[in-house]
């Protein structure tokens, strides 16, 4: 029977090739969309598990998908109070995430000479204020050059007095260091706003805070930005409007547990002990990621369904033409003893063979498309670790593609097979 189906396809090779290509494109699109959703979910799970962050504390009533994060108050104290309230907490690290504007020494010199070249201006970048010694167990960027932030604790915070010395130390990631043209030992200035024009640069520098670069780090996937700076929590607070006992705030508190398997009970314990906080587990974060992936998957399925329906209709039309071309042949088969069901099976086999050939075309196209898309997205979002992939061809994805191919083949064969089985034998044989 396979030989018969192959022979039928050879009679109209161009038509068969176009039909298989249409099926392949439709199935390949669906496989690609499923591979992307599988890749994002798998990579997100692996990253979250490897980050060392088991719980995230945010301000009360914050949702995991909120667009803004209200400040967490008394941030420095929480680094001590949270472990005291739960012995399973190894580290509670307050992080303040903010946007700053950075200028370098070359721009500073040009501004003082009133000779700023066209196109020169301060650079906007992300910044993280933290307590370096409170990040044990939590994944942080790799330091490539320099000593990094050198002092334990947070010197300027000085046990809540905010009277300690400023270190004026800062670590820049490679992207920001390259844009600013500075290395370890260089000076940068940080402010919260950009000057409106070149003539305002001297005033901007007068109000900005100078920092000495003490380290160059790699990119950081947790805050995927190509331009990122790291400094002490209290010193970032002083720049963005905090830096007093009443304005000791952070964006989040990242918590590393001694035993992460009890994260749910630790979540409950901490929310009872700190009513002003909402605590999320890793499962909560991954659940939010899964919700986004599911939304994307639904959108992808809708697109895929349209493609599959079009491919099935196209295959049905081509098979109908094939049956009409061979109507006398089917009548002869019936005349020599072939049952109706066997004649219908021949048409179904031809349809399934077209679908399988389409899968043989569509799967390589999906793999090639996924590789290019993955390369593009990895270049678009800096800071992702080695091994991260936006696509994953797991067995579920492949089996789904095979299932779709079989479904197209069977659906497309239904009407043509019914037509072949219902052909009037006598009339077809008498026809000239």
Mean pLDDT of 331-351: 77
Predicted TM-score of the model (pTM): 0.70
Best-predicted range by mean pLDDT (36-40, 65-69, 157-161, 305-309) = 157-161
pLDDT at 170: 97
Helix axis angle, 263-273 to 75-85, nearest 10°: 120
Mean pLDDT of 301-330: 77
pLDDT of residue 301 exceeding 80, the answer is no
Q: Is the model more confident about 102 or about 347? A: 102
**Strand blocks (E) in 258-404:** 277-281
Mean pLDDT of 147-151: 94
What tens digit of pLDDT does each residue of 122-135 get?
999 999 999 999 99
pLDDT at 291: 66
What tens digit of pLDDT does each residue of 14-65 get?
777 777 777 778 878 888 877 887 777 777 777 767 788 899 999 987 776 6
Asked whether the CA dihedral 55, 61, 65, 70 is positive or negative, the reply is negative
- List beta partners, residue 211: 188
Mean pLDDT of 362-371: 85
pLDDT of residue 342 exceeding 90, the answer is no
pLDDT at 399: 82
Q: CA end-to-end span of the chain, whole Å?
A: 28
pLDDT at 130: 95
pLDDT at 339: 81
Instruction: Count Cα neighbours of 371 within 13 Å in the Cβ-side half-sphere.
Output: 5
Which class for 249: exposed (0-12), middle (13-18), buried (19 or more C-beta within 10 A)?
buried
Measured CA to CA, the distance from residue 124 to residue 131 in angstroms comes to: 23
In this structure, what DSSP letter does residue 391 have? Answer: -
Q: Is the model more confident about 353 or about 277? A: 277
pLDDT of residue 432 exceeding 60, the answer is no
Kindly report the number of other CB atoms within 10 A of residue 378's CB atom: 13
pLDDT at 255: 94
Identify the three-state secondary structure at position 20: helix
pLDDT at 67: 56
- Could you please report the per-residue DSSP string of 34-102? HHHHHHHHHHHHHHHHHT---EEEEETT--TT-SS-PPEESHHHHHHHHHHH-TTEEEEEEEEEEEEEE
Of 206-215, 309-318, 319-328, least confident by mean pLDDT is 319-328
Measured CA to CA, the distance from residue 28 to residue 400 in angstroms comes to: 11
Query: What distance lies between CA 429 and its chain's CA centroid?
Result: 62
- pLDDT category of residue 412 using cuts at 50, 70 and 90: confident
Closest CA to 100 of 230, 202, 8, 248: 230
Domain boundaries in the chain?
Answer: 2-47+287-430, 61-275
Burial letters 138-153, b for 16+ CB under 10 A, else e: bbbbebebbebbeeeb
269-to-79, 90, 266, 394 alpha-carbon distances in Å? 16, 15, 5, 38
Mean pLDDT of 247-269: 93
Which helix or strand (DSSP H or E) is residue 146 part of? Answer: strand 143-146
- pLDDT category of residue 378 using cuts at 50, 70 and 90: confident
Asked whether the CA dihedral 244, 272, 252, 259 is positive or negative, the reply is positive
Of 158-172, 261-275, 371-385, least confident by mean pLDDT is 371-385
224-to-173, 237, 273 alpha-carbon distances in Å? 11, 22, 32
Kindly report the number of other CB atoms within 10 A of residue 192's CB atom: 14
What tens digit of pLDDT does each residue of 193-227 get?
999 888 889 999 999 999 999 999 987 766 766 78
Helix ranges restricted to H, 162-200:
174-180
pLDDT of residue 294 exceeding 70, the answer is no
What distance separates the 2 farthest-apart alpha carbons in the chain? Answer: 107
pLDDT at 66: 59
Question: What mean pLDDT value characterizes the chain?
Answer: 83
What tens digit of pLDDT does each residue of 97-113 get?
999 999 999 999 988 88
Taken as a whole, the chain contains a residue count of: 432
pLDDT of residue 252 exceeding 80, the answer is yes
Query: What distance lies between CA 374 and its chain's CA centroid?
Result: 10
What tens digit of pLDDT does each residue of 74-88 get?
999 999 999 999 999
pLDDT at 381: 66
pLDDT at 354: 79
What tens digit of pLDDT does each residue of 167-198 get?
999 999 999 999 999 999 999 999 999 998 88
Mean pLDDT of 261-281: 93
- pLDDT category of residue 358 using cuts at 50, 70 and 90: confident
């Amino acid at each position: 029977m396979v030989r018969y189906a192959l022979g039928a396809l050879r009679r109209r090779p161009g038509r068969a090739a176009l039909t298989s290509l249409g099926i392949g494109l439709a199935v390949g699109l669906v496989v690609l969309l499923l591979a992307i959703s599988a890749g994002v979910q798998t990579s997100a799970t692996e990253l979250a598990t490897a980050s060392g962050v088991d719980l995230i504390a945010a301000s009360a009533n914050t949702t995991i998908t909120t667009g803004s994060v209200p400040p967490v108050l008394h941030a420095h104290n929480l680094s001590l109070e949270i472990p005291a309230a739960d012995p399973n907490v190894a580290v509670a690290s307050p992080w303040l995430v903010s946007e700053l504007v950075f200028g370098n020494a070359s721009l500073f010199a040009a501004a003082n000479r009133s000779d700023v070249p066209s196109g020169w201006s301060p650079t906007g970048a992300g910044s993280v204020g933290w307590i370096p010694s409170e990040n044990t167990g939590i994944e942080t960027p790799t330091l490539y050059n320099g000593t990094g932030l050198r002092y334990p604790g947070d010197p300027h915070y000085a046990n809540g007095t905010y009277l300690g010395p400023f270190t004026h130390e800062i670590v820049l990631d490679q992207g920001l260091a390259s844009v600013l043209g500075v290395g370890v030992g260089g000076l940068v200035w940080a402010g919260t706003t950009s000057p409106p024009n070149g003539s305002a640069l001297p005033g901007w520098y007068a109000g900005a805070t100078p920092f000495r670069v003490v380290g160059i780090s790699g990119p950081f996937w947790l805050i995927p930005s190509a331009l990122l700076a790291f400094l002490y929590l209290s010193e970032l607070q002083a720049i963005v409007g905090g830096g007093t006992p009443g304005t000791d705030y952070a964006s989040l508190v990242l918590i590393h547990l001694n035993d992460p398997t009890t994260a749910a009970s630790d979540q409950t314990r901490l929310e009872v002990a700190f009513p002003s906080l909402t605590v999320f587990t890793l499962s909560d974060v991954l659940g939010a990621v899964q919700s986004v992936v599911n939304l994307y998957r639904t959108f992808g399925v809708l697109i895929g369904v349209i493609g599959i329906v079009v491919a099935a209709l196209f295959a049905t039309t081509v098979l109908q033409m094939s049956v009409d071309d061979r109507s006398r042949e089917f009548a002869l088969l019936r005349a020599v003893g072939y049952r109706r069901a066997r004649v219908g099976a021949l048409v179904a086999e031809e349809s399934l063979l077209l679908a399988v050939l389409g899968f043989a075309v569509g799967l390589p196209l999906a793999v090639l498309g996924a590789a290019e898309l993955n390369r593009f997205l990895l270049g678009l979002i800096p800071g992702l670790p080695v091994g991260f992939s936006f696509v994953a061809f797991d067995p579920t994805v492949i089996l789904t593609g095979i299932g779709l191919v079989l479904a197209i083949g069977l659906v497309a064969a239904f009407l043509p097979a019914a037509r072949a089985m219902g052909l009037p034998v006598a009339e077809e044989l008498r026809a000239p």
